[in-house]
Structure 1
Amino acid sequence: MSLLKVSGLGKSFGGVKAVDEISFDLAAGELLALIGPNGAGKSTTFNMVNGQLRADRGSIKLDGHELIGLPPRSIWKLGVGRTFQIAETFGSLTVVENVQMALLSADGKLLATWRKAAGHKRDEAVELLDKVGMAQQADRPCADLAYGDVKRVELAIAIANNPKLLLMDEPTAGMAPKERNELMALTKKLVVERSMAVLFTEHSMDVVFAYADRMIVLARGRLIAEGKPLEIRDHPKVQEVYFGSGKTFEKKAADKELA
């Protein structure tokens, strides 16, 4: 049964169709990679699921709840977490305080009466840090961490509200190969433990083919292929558009639009 169901999703900017009637689904406990060449519509799709952009048409349902029209915070409350291409943490706070801030927000206390992060659910925050291998650095300022460790802290923050769906935008960007594999292996473990679904964009194909359960491929705003990694690797259209130059597909698409 699908946890996330996207149907006929579309978004235009002026006369340009950034996302053109795409549909896909995602089950709990599954990692789905969203890939494609630059300008394919990946970020636009991602941001519509998260509520940062509103779709012009179509439907995005999470566990039966329609997400289109909801602000990002309401979508977050329904069980959607997110990490960013450039890690988002408070450098002036300690590692554990960053996670405690996320727990405060999950409890709805950030906008009510201010409480010091240090006094809120420290044990629970440390437990989350332990899951990402950062418990021993709990009291270090985030500003002092190596970038790979910051990404781990961001992951702990993203799962603080126990999301059903985790959106990961270029999770391994800027990381060395060893760090990339460690972070994605950790994500895979959390997916299994929590029956959590993950939708992620990624340019490192070694990461995608090693850790994705399924893949969807976009080109010029259209979904051109979906399937398991080995199916995608051997898909002629994907080889033409993404792994090759893409010139043939772009010419056909342009001819179709002019027709």
Structure 2
Amino acid sequence: MSLLNVTNLGKRFGGNVAVDGVSFSVAPGELLALIGPNGAGKSTTFNMVNGQLAADSGSITLAGQELTGLKPRQIWKQGVGRTFQIAETFASLTVLENVQMALISADNRLFSLWRRAADHKADEAMDLLRQVGMAAQADRPCSVLAYGDVKRVELAIALANRPKLLLMDEPTAGMAPKERNELMALTKQLVLQRGLAVLFTEHSMDVVFAYADRLIVLARGRLIAEGTPAEIRDNPQVQAVYFGTGKTFEKKAHA
């Protein structure tokens, strides 16, 4: 049974049709990759699901609840977590404090002084850090972390409100191949443990084909294909539109 259902989603910018009648679904425990060439409408679609852009037409539902028209904060409260292409953390705070701040936000609690918030759900924050392999660095400021570790902290923050759906925008951007694989393997593990649904965009085809359960492919705002990695890899239309004549996924993935 699907958790996220997107139906006939549409968006225009002036006379330009950015997204044209796109429909797809994501089930609990599934990683769905949203791919396509530049200008395909990936970011527009992704940002409509998250509420950063308002859809002109169509419907977005999460567990039967309509998300269309809601603001990002409202969507977050419905159980949608998000990570960003450029990791967003408080650089001056420690790893533990960053996760505590996310837990404070999830609880709708406000603290006038950090001193009063310092003990808020420290055990729960540490548990999240253990899940992403960052417990040993809990007391370090985020400003001194390697970028791959910052991305792990961001993942812990995204899990703080116990999301049903996780949106990941270019999760491995700027990371070395080893870090990319470690982060996505961790994400896959958490998806299975928590029964999360994940929608992610990604330019690294090695990541997409190694970790996505299904792919949807956009071109010029329209959905042109969906299926398993093997089905998409062998789809002539996808190869022609996405990579151009004479190129294949294998060549692109290892370029």
Q: TM-score range with shorter-chain normalisation?
A: over 0.9
One-letter code aligned to 1:27: A
- Secondary structure of the 1:28 match is coil
Give the Cα–Cα distance (whole angstroms) in 2 for the partners of residues 42 and 239 of structure 1: 17
| CA offset digits 1:18-76 (Å, max 9, x no partner) | 00000001100000000000110000000000000000000000000110111111100
Amino acid at match of 1:105: S
Alignment of 1:22-101 (within 5 A): 22-101=22-101
2:166 is matched with which residue?
166
Matching residue's letter, 1:157: I
Any idea what SS the aligned residue of 2:199 has? strand
The gaps in structure 1 that reach 5 residues or longer are 247-259
1:195 corresponding residue in structure 2: 195
Shift of 1:228: 0.3
Q: Aligned residue for 1:120? A: 120
Cα distance in 2, alignment partners of residues 2 and 232 from structure 1:
21
> In 1, distance between residues paired with 2:113 and 2:4?
35
Residue 113 of structure 1, CA deviation: 5.7
Amino acid at match of 2:76: W
Q: 2:11: which partner in 1?
A: 11
Q: Which amino acid aligns with 2:139?
A: D
Q: Give distance in 1, aligned partners of 2:61 and 2:117.
A: 33
Query: In the TM superposition, what is the alpha-carbon distance from 1:244 to its structure 2 partner?
Result: 2.1
C-alpha separation in 2, matches of 1:175 and 1:190: 20
Distance 1:56 1:239 in 2: 30
* Aligned-pair CA distance for 1:119: 1.7
Tell me which residue corresponds to 1:108. 108
Give, in angstroms, the shift of residue 5 of structure 1: 0.4
What secondary structure is seen at the aligned counterpart in 2 of 1:168?
Answer: strand
Residue number in structure 1 paired with 2:204: 204
What SS does the corresponding residue of 2:3 show, helix, strand or coil?
Answer: strand
**How many residues are paired up?**
245
Q: CA deviation at 1:117?
A: 3.6
Following the alignment from structure 1 to structure 2, what is the Cα–Cα distance between the partners of residues 103 and 113? 16
Aligned counterparts of 1:84 and 1:136: Cα–Cα separation in 2: 24
Counterparts of 2:178 and 2:219, CA distance in 1: 30
Identity of aligned residues (%): 78
TM-score, normalisation: structure 1: 0.93
Question: What is the CA–CA distance in structure 2 between the aligned matches of 1:36 and 1:69, rounded to whole Å?
Answer: 25
Aligned equivalents of 1:230, 1:117: Cα separation in 2? 49
Determine whether 1:141 maps to 2:154. Answer: no
AA in 2 matched with 1:152: R
CA drift of 1:118 comes to 1.6
Structure 1: which amino acid aligns with 2:2? S
Identify if the C-alpha distance between structure 1 residues 9 and 113 changes in structure 2 by more than 3 Å, giving closer, same or farther: same
Q: Secondary structure at the match of 1:140?
A: coil
Distance in 1 (CA, whole Å) between partners of 2:123 and 2:234 is: 48
Letter in 2 for 1:51: G
Deviation at 1:243, TM superposition (A): 2.4
After TM superposition, the score normalised by the length of structure 2 is 0.94
Partner of 1:150: 150
Gaps of 5+ in 2: 247-255
Aligned to 2:249: none
Aligned to 1:241: 241
The DSSP-based 3-state class of the residue aligned with 2:74 is helix
